[in-house]
């Protein structure tokens, strides 16, 4: 039977990763994510799983990708400065279609910034940080049980779509100790596809929209994996038609499967006059605020994105048919608000509550903004 | 609905982080509550003002930082000055009588000045035990967890060989305010 | 104070016991604001002049005090070793002389 | 068919290298070393960074991985730790290995992780058209040292010995038999190994330094290289511009990293776990 | 008198940089940008200016920032993989407010991708590639004379706003030899502010919206520069009010000065039925197409963004008052089109021409799309 | 006022370090070296990466720069090349200098660029709470080596000598007079210099290894360090865990990088230019 | 408006890049035209098919790649196959008679088969001079630049000591097609 | 061919001039598709068996030819040195023998 325990947010991630089958961790310490590596260094050897502290973040993600191609489920964890350093290898994982999970416990930025303060200012970097066109999946849990379930889901999505998946976490939650329900093994899905049989080494051969099959090294047909643009065999090719297809294969595996990938939660939205759009720690402020608003007779509701990339466009647009006010609450100077501006119809009024000074919003602040907005 | 919000303030802060964590452990694992402890640090590497918020409730907790504080325990002036916000009008406030001297407007708070640090050193023998002393003080003043659970948990949690010291610390805490 | 610090105090007293007060009237200056009570000065002083004490006003719990100023021989070991610029030996005096 | 051809992926031929480039020679000697050890191609992975030399994996009929510039060792570390029983070979150019990738090199050496590195020292950035590398000899002209190189070059055998490497050797593209032999030995060595191969980029280094033909440049390599015995006969000044050959370090005492991890840390952790404790 | 010369695109950048007062270059070779470094290695020593090839791109940008803080006008040049590696230091330059100019000659991505092929797929990375909230200026010349003038402007903007400025360039133009007018020195502005006198070391003390003054090392008042969030003295501070102000100071120096920063060109737009929005090499295809369309009686016009970040929102919105069709042409799988979606009113029909296979659009292809669109 | 206090920025005090941390001692000895050389504070810049040691620049009343983790040397290279006449000092922790920053370290050494580095070796990542570093001694317990460290540590004096460094020394926080002296000497040296300072992080390394007090840990440092003469009397096994002190390399022959650049390359380029040619 | 579009195709490509650059130099700096040369490489490090487009016009040039080619010179089969697109119906096409054998549909092109490479080696003494031979061929067949300017420019451009060789190469080029 | 290649040919002929045809009937196999005409085999062959020639069909301008097969002593130096897997010595024969 499952049981509510007290765990630090970082430790929930680590435990969930192990529960999802993670059997490789390479990382480099950085506040406020270091506890993940520390926990792994203690627990993984017990399970004969591999832990290594690398010389930097570039090396960490490189090692994870290598291990993944050798059949492991690999995890690394970092924060802003390290995540910036990982961008080149993030692109590699996209290009070669390698499942790997990266935790970014966001802290105040830019640069060294405020290592001990929360922020939600890496939202756009998560989507666009590496060069070239690339698909990205990013999940962003806010409540303790979600930290567990979204971490498991991140591994499943990485395996299914053969793509890097980023888990965003707030500094506040990474460091907090909180009650959490650790579900029984077997009560949640752990996705693992057997390595695919291939003919003619055509490892990337599939139709647009199809999930890539798991193909990795050491399965009796020696394969080639390349960071250069490549053909169905993985061999370098700049042939325009081939490239066209490969680019689409990579992008569309995500966009053909939005229903599977996108997850969100809706609170009090059915009759809402104002939709609060938020995620992570800000969604927790917003939820408290929405409840307070309801008590005061204000019809507010919350749309909490759990998948932040790809953006939950369709679900929001459905809501915008009825709800004509949207308030974006985020701990940055305006990032996901651009997505709302982009997808919300013009008859929907847009308001934001933004801040980037290291303090999360209090529910009262969100409530005030809602009240101003509904006036 | 039961919901209690507690704040600890100190410099350095390892002690109050432990106090908060213990409180949450007991509330969740022994008393079936929902609870969260969230620490806030400042810039200084060591010895900067730190606060720890603990919320304990019988319903899931939305926002993890305290908004209307029932109980505030603070062992230093600087964190007192910075973190005394968001206290309820009738909050219970316990400050170290040596280290927090300027209280400013105390509204309707019930304020207790007690020599927490000193008594810990003298009575329990090691300043590290401020965590347990603070926990006991909290238990006594708020009753948010039961005394028996606290004792049982500390016995289980304390490293072998230091159980006695920890029990002494509980005693110190229970007796600081009569 | 932890046992290591108590020992440093004890050792200092033992060293002092073997010395006589110094002939020169050396002056020690403390900057309480900066002293973190680490005890390095106590540990290093050859004459056992200094002692740590529990100091509730110090956020790290202890400070140093100039326990037996007349034993000081002005060797400046303590000033050199203090990581926090909290202890100076014959500071004003040398200032008057125009620096060291 | 030659035994070594089993390890060659002819379908991707011809190779992209300039006529006479040493990279092809090295490709062949590595394949010959595989053959002599009678390895299953699927038990091998060849990994490279970016550069002319970085293109080499494509042409091995083993598992192969073309990574990012300078980072091949990081991928290799992940693979070796994931699959300690595989032969993990890294091919790296001098720029790749010692400019952008220098840190990974010294750390792999320090860890003594059982990766087999072939460091192709052609003294130049070949792929990008001939800019100075940390192994370009002093005074040489390159695209970015038009007035001659003023930077001293790393001496790989010194640097790696100091970084605790347990196997360090140097050979040249002129001495195929010895090269193959040393590579084979390095494959049999348990820890991290580096075989530096002096190679000819006549096109991008030679051309700017009066050695535009492979025929001339391979002769130049012959001139500057020699046995350790001959090298030691030279004066320090003469040594400056010469390169001794052979195996410089072969330390079989130092434990290999994945060995330590799986056979020391894992049992220790499991024991600690069994003992319980909090 | 100025004279039309033949120069390679990369060399135009290098010459323009020298003309703009660039006196420090640190870089690491990468296709298709290496000629910039090569030219500098030859020319800079002649002028007693400093050139250095560093061990990687991280080091290159680090050295440039150091030199800039020591009073130099610094340049580096790279392409996708190197630009990804520079992201952490880009954030440093933003945080510490350091002028530095970075050329990104874009190539096919992601990862190693297609080093010899053109692409415009680093548009969003340019804006969002580093962690934390950060202001960015990016210019994107398309025609030879613009390559010169925008490079000079990039240096001026960097100096004026004390911020990193990115010059985007197309592989096609970087490698092409073309006629170009190198203007006479004196005929264009070269911005250089004398180092500011300060009191109390308050180097960051100013009002929101004000340009930062030039303050650098070795001017008789030893100053401190930090990658941590800091106060007006540059000393680390996480005080919420201070942070709030500093974040705004950094962002708003850009947004208060859009008129000075934003530059664009408009062709045939006054009576246009369809506005083609484009930049770089695609704008050249589009201009040819628009001229062909006009010949065929189709009222098409071109909006060519020269400043791509900040986005030329106001100018476009002005056009959208009359022109109700917008066609975004870009060599990627959809990046700046998101900006258009965001800012174009709903009554403006949106169409895109996108591709990421290494081939630039031919004018004919753009024309076809225009024709389809106006139907 | 002490002469050395001129170089201290008291306004930013107190320092953020734990009581007894060696960083404060090092701060003082560097300031004393400045004072003995009677330098104008504005002619100095102190640069650091990220770490406890990285916070040091804030407390010098000279030009100071707190950069990114591991990259201080890259900024310093830019500054030194821009202003060769300034004293460019880099302070770097062991993780900063040899983990993430290892590559910049060996390249600065190779170039022999006139940067003066103080490498604070406390054998641990202090700032992030005590994870293993490339200089953590074998078997030590850290937050990420809960079963003991299995990685060998770099020996800085070896690595840097091999990387062609022209000045390499080691001192400890226990020997202030010598430390100050060696730092001063390094400041007077023309090329790249590294002074490794053995320091105590009793809080994050000591605590996990039975040395939680600075008083104990500084004694431990005394125990493991000794003069080169004493060190050489030890057997190789004994040497493994000991650290000799003193100046190991002091090569005044090797030209400094910016010197070469401005006094050799610049005239060569100008001459080539004057000669014309195409 | 005068506008001529020229394409060169080869393997490797250094020669045709030089030819294009020379052509553009002369057109712009000596004849006051607008001009651009843009090369396109493929994946192979060395010896892959390469094309170079040159546009010369008396108006500024919008798009830098050739769209309607007047003159196409190609020295190898593979680049011929890949790059023979976008030729005008009446384009002039010059191919190496040894190396380009399969021409496919040649529409209304005026096709010349000449042994460019061989004649360069034999007549000018070094295959590197294909660049100048190609330039001369272009001059002759298109008249896009004047002969005199070409000669003057090559004399100025050629490294000291190799002027004669280069003049020979011009001769070879001028005589390849009678 | 450049002067270095011409010299390699010349040197080979000179070496050949000093040798006699080999007793063994060694068979040399060329893969024209892969040969880049670098001349390394010509340069290394101790018997001067091989020669470079201008080859318009080779995209690099030259190929190797087996100019005097009967001089070949089967030493395989050429095969070893060829960077492009374009030259094999007694390939079929050894295959029949079951590989080397
Ligand atoms: C991050 C990054 N920076 C730069 C490059 C460009 N680049 C490709 S290969 C190379 C250097 C190649 O030199 P070397 O490693 O010596 O290999 P070689 O070509 O000589 O075999 C460079 C700088 C790149 N691909 N990625
Ligand atoms: C890119 C990046 N990765 C990681 C970190 C986190 N970090 C800060 S300091 C540090 C290590 C500090 O160790 P050391 O350099 O030895 O300095 P010390 O604190 O011991 O003085 C790390 C890993 C960071 N700031 N930036
Ligand atoms: S100066 Fe010397 S004797 Fe006096 S207190 Fe300091 S250390 Fe002791
Ligand atoms: S005076 Fe200095 S050395 Fe002595 S205890 Fe205080 S801080 Fe430590
Ligand atoms: S450029 Fe140099 S290294 Fe690259 S293939 Fe050619 S000869 Fe070899
Ligand atoms: S953690 Fe260690 S290194 Fe950092 S300040 Fe404390 S004692 Fe010094
Ligand atoms: S086998 Fe020996 S003798 Fe025969 S061609 Fe080859 S190198 Fe010459
Ligand atoms: S056979 Fe091989 S070695 Fe001989 S010329 Fe051809 S490619 Fe070169
Ligand atoms: Mg090389
Ligand atoms: Mg350290």
Quick: pLDDT tens for B88-98: 999 999 999 99
Matching residue, tokens 């258009």 = E340
pLDDT of residue F105: 98
Q: Are residues A10 and A116 in the same domain?
A: yes
Identify the sign of the CA torsion G55, G60, G65, G67: negative
pLDDT of residue E94: 98
* CA angle, residues A101, A106, A112, in degrees to nearest 5: 120
* Residue G174: alpha-carbon gap to chain centroid: 13
Interface residue ranges in chain E relative to chain G, Cβ cutoff 8 Å: 4-6, 114, 116, 143-144, 172-173, 175-179, 281, 284-285, 287-288, 291, 360, 362-364
How large a percentage of chain D has pLDDT more than 90?
A: 98
Q: Best mutation site among D47, D82, D192 for testing chain A: the one with the most A CBs within 10 Å?
A: D82
Question: Scanning every residue of chain A, which has its alpha carbon at the shortest distance from the alpha carbon of F133?
Answer: A55
B88, B32 Cβ separation under 8 angstroms: no
Q: Best mutation site among A132, A218, A219 for testing chain D: the one with the most D CBs within 10 Å?
A: A218
Q: Where does the pLDDT of residue A228 fall: very low under 50, low under 70, confident under 90, or very high at 90 and above?
A: very high
- Of E10, E293, E358, E309, nearest to E165 (Cα)? E309
Q: Is residue C65 part of a domain?
A: yes
> Which tokens is D144 given?
């970015």
* CA angle, residues C13, C16, C18, in degrees to nearest 5: 120
pLDDT of residue B12: 84
Q: Is residue A257 part of a domain?
A: no
Q: Where does the pLDDT of residue G43 fall: very low under 50, low under 70, confident under 90, or very high at 90 and above?
A: low
Those residues with Cβ within 8 angstroms of residue G68's Cβ, 6 or more apart along the chain or in another chain: G5, G86, G87, G88
- Residues from chain D that touch F155, judged by Cβ atoms under 8 A, are 162, 164
Give me the DSSP letters along chain D: --GGGGGB-GGGPSPSSPTT-HHHHHHHHHHHHHHHTT--GGGEEEEE-SSTGGGGGGGBSSEEEE--TT-HHHHHHHHHHH-TTSEEEEEEEHHIIIIITHHHHHHHHHHT-SEEEEEEE-SSBTTTTSB--TTSPTT--BTTBTT---SPPP-HHHHHHHTT-SEEEEEETT-HHHHHHHHHHHHHSSS-EEEEEE---IIIIIGGGT--SHHHHHHHHHHHEEEHHHHHTS-HHHHTT-EEEEEEEE--SSPPHHHHIIIIIHHHHHHHHHT---
Whether pTM exceeds 0.95: yes
pLDDT of residue E2: 47
CATH number at residue H56: 3.30.70.20
Q: Where does the pLDDT of residue H2 fall: very low under 50, low under 70, confident under 90, or very high at 90 and above?
A: confident
E352, E334 Cβ separation under 8 angstroms: yes
> Which tokens is E154 given?
């990039």
pLDDT of residue A1: 38
Beta strands in F177-257 (DSSP E): 193-198, 225-227, 243-250
Q: Is residue C100 part of a domain?
A: no
Q: Which of H15, H72, H86 to mutate to test the pocket of ligand 7 (most atoms within 8 A of CB)?
A: H72
Matching residue, tokens 């500057």 = D224
- Whether D203 is in the pocket of ligand 5, judged by its Cβ within 6 Å, is yes
> Which tokens is H61 given?
């301008």
- The SS3 call for residue B17 is helix
CB crowding D231-240: b at 16 or more within 10 Å, else e: beeeeeeeee
E224, F58 Cβ separation under 8 angstroms: yes
The Cα A171–Cα A145 span in angstroms is 17
Interface residue ranges in chain F relative to chain C, Cβ cutoff 8 Å: 1-3, 5, 8, 10, 13-15, 17-25, 27-28, 176-177, 212-216, 218
Q: Are residues A173 and A80 in the same domain?
A: yes
Q: Which fold has domain F3-275?
A: Rossmann fold (3.40.50)
The Cα B98–Cα A2 span in angstroms is 46
Q: Tell me the CA–centroid distance for residue C71 and ligand 9, in Å.
A: 68
pLDDT digits (tens, 9 = 90+) for B27-64: 999 999 999 999 997 655 577 889 999 999 999 999 99
Whether H92 has a pLDDT exceeding 90, the answer reads no
Question: Which one of A160, A182, A204 terminates a domain?
Answer: A182
E76, E103 Cβ separation under 8 angstroms: yes
> Which tokens is D161 given?
């010995």
Q: Specify which residues G71 forms β-bridges with.
A: G6, G92
Domain count, chain A: 2
pLDDT of residue C99: 44
- Going by the DSSP 8-state scheme, the letter that residue F42 receives in this structure is G
Q: Are residues E281 and E178 in the same domain?
A: no
Interface residue ranges in chain F relative to chain D, Cβ cutoff 8 Å: 99-103, 106-107, 110-112, 134, 146-148, 150-155, 158-164, 254, 257, 260-261, 264-265, 268-269, 272
The Cα H34–Cα H37 span in angstroms is 9
Name the residue ranges covered by the structural domains of chain B.
3-175
> Which tokens is D229 given?
């015995």
Between these two residues, F65 and A3, which has the higher pLDDT value?
Answer: F65
A188, A153 Cβ separation under 8 angstroms: no
Label the pairing between strands D243-250 and D167-172: antiparallel
- Across the D/F interface, how many CB contacts are shorter than 8 Å? 90
Average pLDDT, chain G: 93
Whether G42 has a pLDDT exceeding 90, the answer reads no
Q: Which of F1, F13, F213 sits opposite C95 (nearest CB)?
A: F1
The Cα G51–Cα G13 span in angstroms is 7
Matching residue, tokens 């940055």 = A332
Q: Is residue C40 part of a domain?
A: yes
pLDDT of residue C2: 84
CATH number given to B3-175: 3.40.920.10
Label the pairing between strands B69-74 and B87-96: parallel
CB contact under 8 A, C57 and B99: yes
Interface contact B60, partner A, CB < 8 A: yes
- Give start and end residues of each alpha helix (H) in F17-138: 22-36, 72-82, 94-95, 102-111
Matching residue, tokens 């990581």 = C83
- Residues from chain D that touch G43, judged by Cβ atoms under 8 A, are 16
Q: What is the pLDDT along chain E (375 residues), one digit of tens a residue?
A: 347 899 999 999 999 999 999 999 999 999 999 999 999 999 999 999 999 999 999 999 999 999 999 999 999 999 999 999 999 999 999 999 999 999 999 999 999 999 999 999 999 999 999 999 999 999 999 999 999 999 999 999 999 999 999 999 999 999 999 999 999 999 999 998 888 888 888 999 999 999 898 889 999 899 999 999 999 999 999 999 999 999 999 999 999 999 999 999 999 999 999 999 999 999 999 999 999 999 999 999 999 999 999 999 999 999 999 999 999 999 999 999 999 999 999 999 999 999 999 999 999 999 999 999 998
* CA angle, residues F93, D261, D253, in degrees to nearest 5: 85
CB contact under 8 A, C2 and F213: yes
pLDDT of residue G178: 85
Q: Is residue E191 part of a domain?
A: no
CB contact under 8 A, A172 and B32: no
Label the pairing between strands G3-11 and G49-57: antiparallel
Question: Which one of E113, E147, E182 terminates a domain?
Answer: E182
- Of A324, F20, E92, H64, nearest to D19 (Cα)? H64
How large a percentage of chain F has pLDDT more than 90?
A: 98
When pLDDT is averaged across residues D117-132 and rounded to a whole number, the result is: 97
Average pLDDT, chain D: 97
Q: Where does the pLDDT of residue B1 fall: very low under 50, low under 70, confident under 90, or very high at 90 and above?
A: confident
Whether C97 has a pLDDT exceeding 80, the answer reads no
pLDDT of residue A4: 87
- Residues from chain F that touch A38, judged by Cβ atoms under 8 A, are 131, 143-144
pLDDT digits (tens, 9 = 90+) for F161-201: 999 999 999 999 999 999 999 999 999 999 999 999 999 99
Whether C100 has a pLDDT exceeding 80, the answer reads no
* Residue B46: alpha-carbon gap to chain centroid: 20
Domain count, chain C: 1
CATH number at residue A314: 3.40.50.920
Q: Is G126 left (phi over 0), alpha (psi -120 to 50) or beta?
A: beta
CB crowding A203-215: b at 16 or more within 10 Å, else e: bbbeeeeebbbbb
Domain that holds residue A144: 3-182
E252, E232 Cβ separation under 8 angstroms: no
Label the pairing between strands A349-354 and C28-30: unpaired
Name the residue ranges covered by the structural domains of chain F.
3-275
Question: Which one of A129, A158, A182 terminates a domain?
Answer: A182
- The SS3 call for residue H35 is coil
- Residues from chain E that touch A342, judged by Cβ atoms under 8 A, are 338, 341-342
What is the rounded radius of gyration, in angstroms, for the C-alpha atoms of chain F?
A: 19
Q: Is residue A253 part of a domain?
A: no
Those residues with Cβ within 8 angstroms of residue C67's Cβ, 6 or more apart along the chain or in another chain: C12, C49, C50, C51
Closest C-alpha to ligand 3, atom 4: C72
pLDDT of residue C95: 56
pLDDT digits (tens, 9 = 90+) for C43-76: 999 999 999 999 888 888 899 999 999 999 999 9
When pLDDT is averaged across residues A273-281 and rounded to a whole number, the result is: 98
Q: Is B107 left (phi over 0), alpha (psi -120 to 50) or beta?
A: left
Between these two residues, B100 and D275, which has the higher pLDDT value?
Answer: B100
Q: Is residue H41 part of a domain?
A: yes
Matching residue, tokens 């110090």 = C58
Interface contact D75, partner A, CB < 8 A: yes
- Give start and end residues of each alpha helix (H) in chain E: 9-19, 34-43, 57-69, 80-85, 87-96, 123-128, 144-161, 171-175, 240-255, 258-261, 280-295, 313-320, 336-343, 363-374
pLDDT digits (tens, 9 = 90+) for E212-229: 988 899 998 999 999 999
Q: Where does the pLDDT of residue B13 fall: very low under 50, low under 70, confident under 90, or very high at 90 and above?
A: confident
- Going by the DSSP 8-state scheme, the letter that residue E120 receives in this structure is -
CB contact under 8 A, E28 and D99: yes
pLDDT of residue B43: 56
């Amino acid at each position: 039977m499952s049981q509510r325990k007290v765990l630090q947010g970082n430790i929930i991630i680590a435990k969930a990763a192990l529960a999802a089958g993670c059997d490789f961790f390479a990382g480099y310490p950085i506040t406020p994510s270091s506890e993940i590596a520390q926990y792994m260094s203690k627990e993984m050897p017990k399970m004969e799983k591999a832990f290594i502290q690398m010389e930097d973040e570039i090396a960490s993600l490189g090692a994870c990708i290598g291990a993944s191609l050798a059949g492991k489920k690999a995890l690394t964890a970092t924060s802003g400065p390290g995540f910036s350093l990982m961008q080149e290898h993030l692109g590699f994982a996209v290009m070669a279609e390698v499942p790997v999970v990266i935790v970014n416990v966001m802290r105040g930025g830019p640069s060294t910034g405020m290592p001990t303060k929360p922020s939600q200012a890496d939202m756009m970097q998560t989507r666009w940080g590496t060069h070239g066109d690339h698909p990205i999946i990013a999940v962003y849990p806010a409540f303790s049980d979600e930290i567990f379930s979204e971490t498991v889901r991140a591994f499943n999505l990485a395996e299914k779509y053969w793509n890097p998946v980023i888990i965003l976490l707030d500094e506040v939650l990474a460091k907090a100790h909180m009650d959490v329900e650790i579900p029984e093994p077997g009560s949640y899905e752990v996705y693992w596809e057997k390595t695919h049989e291939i003919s003619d080494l055509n490892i990337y051969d599939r139709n647009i929209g199809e999930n890539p099959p798991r193909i990795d090294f050491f399965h009796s047909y020696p394969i080639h994996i390349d960071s250069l643009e490549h053909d169905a065999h993985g061999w370098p090719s700049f042939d325009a038609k081939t490239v066209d297809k490969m680019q689409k294969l990579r992008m569309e595996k995500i966009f053909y499967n939005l229903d599977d990938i996108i997850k969100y939660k809706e609170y009090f939205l059915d009759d809402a006059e104002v939709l609060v759009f938020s995620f992570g720690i800000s969604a927790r402020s917003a939820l408290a605020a929405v409840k307070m608003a309801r008590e005061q007779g204000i019809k507010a509701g919350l749309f909490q994105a759990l998948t932040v990339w790809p953006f939950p466009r369709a679900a929001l647009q459905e809501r915008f048919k009825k709800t004509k006010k949207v308030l974006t609450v985020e701990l940055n100077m305006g990032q996901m608000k651009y997505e709302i501006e982009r997808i919300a119809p013009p008859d929907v009024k847009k308001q934001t509550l933004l801040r980037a000074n290291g303090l999360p919003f209090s529910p009262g602040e969100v409530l005030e903004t809602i009240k101003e907005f509904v006036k | 609905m039961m919901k209690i919000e507690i704040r600890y303030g100190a410099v350095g802060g390892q002690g109050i982080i432990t106090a908060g964590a213990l409180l949450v452990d007991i509330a969740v694992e022994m008393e079936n509550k929902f609870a969260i402890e969230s620490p806030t640090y400042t810039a200084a590497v060591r010895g900067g003002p730190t606060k720890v918020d603990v919320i304990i409730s019988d319903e899931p907790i939305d926002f993890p930082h305290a908004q209307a504080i029932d109980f505030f325990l603070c062992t230093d002036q600087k964190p007192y000055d910075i973190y005394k916000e968001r206290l309820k009008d009738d909050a219970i406030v316990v400050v170290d009588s040596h280290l927090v001297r300027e209280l400013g407007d105390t509204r309707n708070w019930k304020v207790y000045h007690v020599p927490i640090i000193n008594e810990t050193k003298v009575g329990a023998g090691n300043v590290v035990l401020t965590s347990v002393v603070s926990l006991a003080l909290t238990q006594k003043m708020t009753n948010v967890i039961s005394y028996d659970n606290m004792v049982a948990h500390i016995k289980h949690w304390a490293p072998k060989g230091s159980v006695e010291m920890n029990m002494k610390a509980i005693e110190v805490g229970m007796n600081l305010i009569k | 104070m932890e046992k290591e610090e108590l020992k440093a105090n004890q050792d200092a007293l033992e060293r002092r016991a073997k010395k006589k007060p110094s002939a020169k009237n050396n002056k020690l200056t403390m900057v309480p604001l900066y002293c973190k009570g680490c005890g390095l000065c106590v540990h290093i002083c050859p004459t056992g002049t200094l002692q740590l004490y529990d100091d509730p006003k110090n956020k790290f719990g202890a400070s140093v005090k100039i326990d037996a100023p007349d034993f000081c021989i002005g060797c400046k070991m303590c000033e050199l070793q203090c990581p926090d610029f909290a202890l100076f030996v014959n500071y004003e005096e040398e200032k008057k002389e125009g620096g060291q | 068919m030659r035994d070594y051809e089993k390890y060659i992926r002819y379908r991707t031929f011809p190779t992209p290298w300039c006529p006479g480039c040493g990279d092809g020679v090295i490709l062949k000697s590595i394949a010959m070393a595989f053959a002599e050890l009678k390895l299953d191609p699927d038990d091998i992975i060849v990994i490279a960074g970016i550069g002319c030399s970085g293109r080499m994996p494509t042409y091995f009929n083993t598992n192969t991985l073309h990574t990012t510039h300078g980072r091949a060792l990081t991928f290799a570390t992940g693979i070796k730790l994931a699959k300690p029983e595989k032969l993990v070979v890294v091919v790296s150019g001098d720029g790749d290995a010692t400019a952008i990738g220098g840190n990974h090199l010294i750390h792999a050496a320090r860890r003594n992780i059982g990766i087999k590195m072939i460091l192709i020292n052609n003294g130049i950035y070949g792929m990008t058209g001939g800019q100075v590398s940390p192994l370009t000899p002093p005074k040489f002209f390159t695209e970015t040292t038009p007035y001659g190189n003023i930077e001293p070059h790393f001496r790989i055998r010194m640097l790696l010995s100091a970084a605790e490497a347990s196997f360090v050797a140097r050979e040249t593209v002129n001495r195929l038999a010895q090269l193959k032999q040393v590579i084979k030995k390095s494959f049999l060595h348990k820890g991290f190994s580096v075989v530096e191969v002096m190679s000819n980029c006549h096109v991008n280094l030679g051309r700017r330094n009066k050695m535009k033909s492979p025929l001339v440049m391979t002769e130049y390599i012959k001139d500057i290289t020699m046995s350790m015995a001959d090298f030691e006969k030279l004066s320090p000044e003469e040594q400056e511009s010469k390169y001794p050959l052979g195996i410089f370090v072969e330390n079989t005492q130092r434990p290999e990293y994945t060995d330590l991890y799986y056979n020391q840390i894992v049992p220790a952790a499991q024991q600690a776990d069994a003992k319980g404790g909090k």
